[in-house]
Amino acid sequence: MDVYGGILESLPLGLFIIKAGAIKYANQSFVQVLGYESVDELINKKFDDLVSEEDRPKYGLANKRDGNLLNQSVVRLLKKDGKTLWAYLAGKHIMHQEEPAIIGYIIDITPLKEIELTLRSSLAKYETIINEIEDSVAEVDLKGNVTFTNDAGCRIWGHTREEAIGRNYRNFMDSESAKIVYQEYNKVFRTGIPGKNIIYEIIRKNDGQRRVIEDSVSLIRNDKGVITGFRTVSRDITERKEKEKQLIEHRSRLEAIFRSVKDAIITVDPELKIIEVNNSAQIICGISAIEAPGQTFSQCFNQCNKSCYEILKQTLENKKTIPEYRIECGHQKRHQQLVSVTSSPLLDPDGKFMGVVLVIKDLTLIRDLERELRERHQFQNIIGRSKKMQDIYRLLEDLADLDTTVLISGESGTGKELVARALHYSGRRAFRPFVTVNCSALAESLLESELFGHVKGAFT
């Protein structure tokens, strides 16, 4: 030892020699690492007393006597002040002063172990987060073998983590789905662009159920940028697909009803752009069910007097239903067409206003039949059933939507104002004010001024 003592003392390793379990030699590095002041405090001290009780079974310096390097262990050693440090421990059986002994060394790895524990804690935290995600998060190598999966992946795919790791994706699906997966993942591999909305079917291992899966996949690269596999986020969309199918079927039924209804149905948004029209609208209103959607209401209705436009605006402003309002369309190709218009707010499932739905029912035939089969007793607020009154009713209907001046003559008390009101409220002007002027109450000299206005200062 005298020859090599200087060398052993200068080594940064904590060297020691044990005989019969007791320390017989320790260099200065060993003394300093354990926090002792001098080597004398360690001589003849049982080495087991320096090892924490939890780690004594695994370090095993006294368990091998074949002359080879003893078990290399990472153990916690007790310092003089009672604190622990993490140390790398190794040793070998030798003959020292003609007696069997163990020579070994320790390296203080406490800083490295603290970093490792911190990393393990962070890893555990992130693993917890990943395992709490409802979607499957998994990784596969370039051969398609599973290298990682979270708890959600096990639940969705119907297997344990042990069953999944190392297995090929083809084990969980039929050949058709495997082909889809291969093509989509190969596209990601070739282009480097992450894949989204990759939909295919799997067969769960635990119960054999078929489930519809939607994948988002991206590439995994090593530190040199070489592609090593795929990272995928999967979602079970079986219930969503079933609801989509039911919704499509329901919409198909509604569209069939929508197309077959004989009344014209027109939906518009708050900006008066047409959303949808049915086939009957082309017959009654002359607008195309194919061309009309997306155009404004006024652009499409160019063959009539647009009387229903006023009703539509009323519903847009008040957001209330206007039921069965009768108007004469003034249609260029369907003379004296009479319709009943119902205008109702169009609401989404949450009750939010989306626009207006117009239902236009053609009453022309019914009106004509009524005229032929029976006399009318009333028109607006005019009451009468004689032949002359029937002639007046028909005349009022013909004049209601004409843009012309109408002279109503008759003796006092014969209902001239009633006729004027009936004309107004039977036509497309019904939503506009009806203004009456008693001309007999105006002086002849002021009549023209009162009716048509005058230039400022005309009377001065």
CATH of 133-241, one of 1.20.120.530, 3.30.70.20, 3.40.50.300, 3.30.450.20: 3.30.450.20
- From residue 102, alpha-carbon distances to 47, 66, 99, 166 in Å are 11, 12, 10, 44
Rounded CA gap, 72 and 59, in Å? Answer: 7
Q: Is the model's pLDDT at 67 over the cut of 50? A: no
Between 268 and 68, residue with greater pLDDT: 268
> Which one, of 45, 115, 105, lies nearest residue 75 by Cα?
105
Q: Where are the domains of the chain?
A: 5-113, 133-241, 261-366, 382-441
Is pLDDT of 230 > 70?
A: yes
Q: Which residue has the higher pLDDT, 293 or 70?
A: 293
Question: What is the structure's pLDDT at 173?
Answer: 92
Distance in angstroms (rounded) separating the CA atoms of residues 231 and 215: 10
- DSSP annotation of 312 reads H
**pLDDT class for 71, splitting at 50, 70, 90?**
low
d(CA 389, CA 392): 5
The pLDDT, as a whole number, for residue 60 is 57
pLDDT at residue 50 greater than cutoff 60: yes
The residue among 367, 371, 309 whose CA lies nearest residue 341 is 309
412 against 459, higher pLDDT: 412
pLDDT above 80 (res 289): no
CA angle, 440 then 443 then 447, to 5°? 85
* Most confident residue range from 73-87, 240-254, 323-337, 436-450: 73-87
Contact 298, 309 (CB under 8 A): yes
Any idea which fold 261-366 has? Beta-Lactamase (3.30.450)
| 8 Å CB contact between 286 and 308 | no
The pTM for the full model equals 0.48
Q: Provide the pLDDT for residue 70.
A: 60
- pLDDT on residue 44: 93
Amino acid at site 405: T
| Mean pLDDT (whole number) for 6-34 | 86
Residue 189 contacts by C-beta under 8 Å, 6 or more apart in sequence?
142, 219, 227, 230
pLDDT > 90? residue 456: no
pLDDT (average), residues 1-15: 68
Are 5-113 and 261-366 equal in CATH topology?
yes
pLDDT of res. 274:
84
CA distances from 197 to 117, 219, 315 (A): 39, 16, 42
Predicted local confidence at residue 372, as pLDDT: 60
Confidence of residue 189 (pLDDT cuts 50, 70, 90): very high
- The answer on pLDDT for 320 being more than 50 is yes
Give, in order, the Cα–Cα distances in Å from 225 to each of 21, 169, 221: 52, 24, 5
Query: Lowest-confidence range among 122-131, 331-340, 417-426?
Result: 331-340
| Site of tokens 């996949």 | 217
Q: How confident is the model at residue 83 (pLDDT cuts 50, 70, 90)?
A: very high
456 beta partners? none
What is the distance in angstroms between the CA of the first residue and the CA of the last residue of the chain? 138
CA distance 126 to 124: 6
pLDDT of residue 140: 94
H/E stretch holding 198: strand 195-203
Using the 8-state DSSP alphabet, how is residue 41 labeled? G
pLDDT band, residue 458 (cuts 50/70/90): low
Q: Give domain 5-113's CATH number out of 3.30.450.20, 3.60.20.10, 3.40.50.300, 3.40.640.10.
A: 3.30.450.20
Q: What is the pLDDT of residue 23?
A: 92
**Cα 213 to Cα 228: distance, rounded to the nearest angstrom:** 24
334-384 per-position pLDDT tens digit: 777 788 888 888 888 888 888 888 888 887 777 777 666 555 677 778 888
- Contacts of residue 156, Cβ cutoff 8 Å, sequence gap at least 6: 136, 211, 213, 234, 236
Digit-coded pLDDT (tens) for 165-187: 999 999 999 999 999 999 999 99
- Is the model's pLDDT at 440 over the cut of 80? no
Contact of 366 with 392, CB cutoff 8 Å:
no
Q: If you average pLDDT over every residue of the chain, what do you get?
A: 83
292, pLDDT greater than 50: yes
Q: How large a percentage of the chain has pLDDT more than 70?
A: 91
- Is residue 315 within 8 A of residue 300, CB to CB? The reply is no
- In the structure, what pLDDT confidence band is assigned to residue 43 with cuts at 50, 70 and 90? very high
